[in-house]
Structure 1
Amino acid sequence: MSSPSNDDFSAADMLEPHGALTLDALQLRLAAQLAPARWRGSLVDLAKRIEGGQPLEEVFASMRSSQPAELRCLLDEAVRVPAPSKLILDSLRARRTVADHWQLVLGMISYPLLLLAVALIIAVTFSFAMRSMIDFQALENLGMTEYARAIAVAEDQHHAILGLGLAFGWTLLILVTLVVAGPPWAWTAVIGGMMLIGYPLRWMRLQEILQRFELFMAQGISPAAAVAATSRSFARSGQAPAAAAIAQRVAAGMPLGRALSASALSDGLCRPALSLLDQRGSELPTALAETSSLLGRLVEQRCRVLSSVLPPFLLILVGTIVWAAMWRYVMLLLPLLMGFVSSMV
């Protein structure tokens, strides 16, 4: 049986279980409220079948082929732990936290993009207006000096607009990559030197991996088994390469903290905290939760700083470029205007 579309489920469907209320069904309905839109229908359908009396493992197996790929990987690992529905609910809660940080990153990029778009529109409009007003043929008749000045001013304005256009296009490409391609390909958005947003993107991915480690360990399984289960649960997601590399290092005998520190997602800011995980022993689940919380705070702090610094910087930079180009047009027209007034007098 294929899962219904998302439109077939109202808010009441997710909040009011039908039939016998079970803890598993309730947790799956709560998970549906936190899940991405493409997952909600599947989770609600799972809850309905459990309420109808079907065993949870049987429901997961019968609906496996109809699940979204990433959700299917998570369900495959969930059925192996003592509390599958709780693991799913907690995983989606953690995912929602990362999604909130994701919105901060998008907002951090969207505002500078808007400023660049406004500046580009103003520059193009002004340039078009000036080119329409200035008679270059008349300037050529006035002498080679005035004509050369007019051509130089027009070229400067063209270069200013071209620079703004390139900056706008680059920022727009980053935003489109993040929105359309989504987290699985977020790393491509920083190619070209956009290292300012590269750090929060990596921290977000690493945060979600650590949260999943901690959730599997909370089910009572060993750290090595939790790392392997986490890697398999991320098999069809954007975290797959990093999670698989960490699992391979741990399977080869490397301590978890060192394996995380060696990941491409770690950097100088978070590496010391990751290395300390190996010294926590039985407190490892608590240490993982604390470290993932630290990564979340780093993302929030970086986004706040960049959101405060980038807009004023762009306003000054863009304003200077646009005003300088406009001022040269004004200085070009001023002698002509004064000459025209003198001739009238």
Structure 2
Amino acid sequence: MSDVISHKCPNCDGPLLFDPENQVFHCEYCLSKFSEPEIVDHHFSEQEDNLKETKEHMFNLYHCPSCGGEVVTDETTAATFCYYCHNPVVLSDRVAGDFLPNAMLPFKVSKKEAQEVFLEWASKKKFIPKNFFNADQIEKMTGVYFPYWNVDAKLKGSTVAKATKIDVWRSGDTEHTRTRTYDLIRKGYVSFHSLTKNALAKNTKQKMIECVQPFPVEEAQMFNTQFLSGFQAEKRDIEFTELEAEVKKELNDYTGSVLMSDTAFYTTITNQRTKSRIIEQSNQYLLLPLWIITYQDRRQNKTFYYAMNGVTSKVGGVLPIKKSRLFTVSGLIGAVVTGIFIAGGYLFL
């Protein structure tokens, strides 16, 4: 069995949860509230014992420290809830050793606020099933810390391209065109801050999650397991070496676009080629917060995903469409348009 952490209230030993709205930890039983330094001091010795080197285990089976029930997880889960007593638990071996995050960005958007934003967003959309945003569906909204690699880099680059400047003017009845061609050469140093890359292979809806970026990573704090209480969390299963070539290409392309950012004077730019060399690079493993809702549309046999940035409230996702309602409205519009044409025809006759 692997070790787990369940943060307890110093006063009553009840489960301790993190409140994003007020940035404090609270107990739902005795209603006590604690700041981060207070919790850190209280659990310092306990954390020292629990944050140990990562070990390989054959089974993803854990014992809940509150009720003794068995918690079964997949291999990337780092924080979850006990299925029996519903207390939050942190799987310490998933956030220790090589898998200890360099930093994390705690939730600032509470679940209540996230639900309100979701309802406002969904209510503006047309032709969606009513049960997509009913009470049961909204209650399924889950706060999840997802793993990301965050890259800061400084590069030295150069880019070359062909450019044209076309001028057109008239002189009497004659139109004149002048085309000038240029060889463009740009060199310089470029700094890149916060290139964020997904570090979870099973995150199949990465485009949806990318649309809620950017995250204010400059506000990230030192990793602390207390912030995981009350939320779910995932452990990375993509190492930076797997992303290195992709990151290098993105940094090179970005360097080229920056060096050519002052070329509005030209009519066309072609055959651009950029070379860059990374002078400094910092790769950090971060946990970033997202509110997630999944919806299973049985008629279409398709799963729809909704995500919200847990700090900025920026939303993204694809909504299911109730085709019967869409067809009804389309039919009504078609009938109205047909009626107008018929009426117009009679008037014309």
Higher relative contact order at CA 8 Å, sep ≥6: structure 1 or structure 2? Answer: 2
TM-score (normalised: structure 1) = 0.29
Q: Which has the higher helix share?
A: 1
Q: Which has the higher strand share?
A: 2
Rg larger in structure: 1
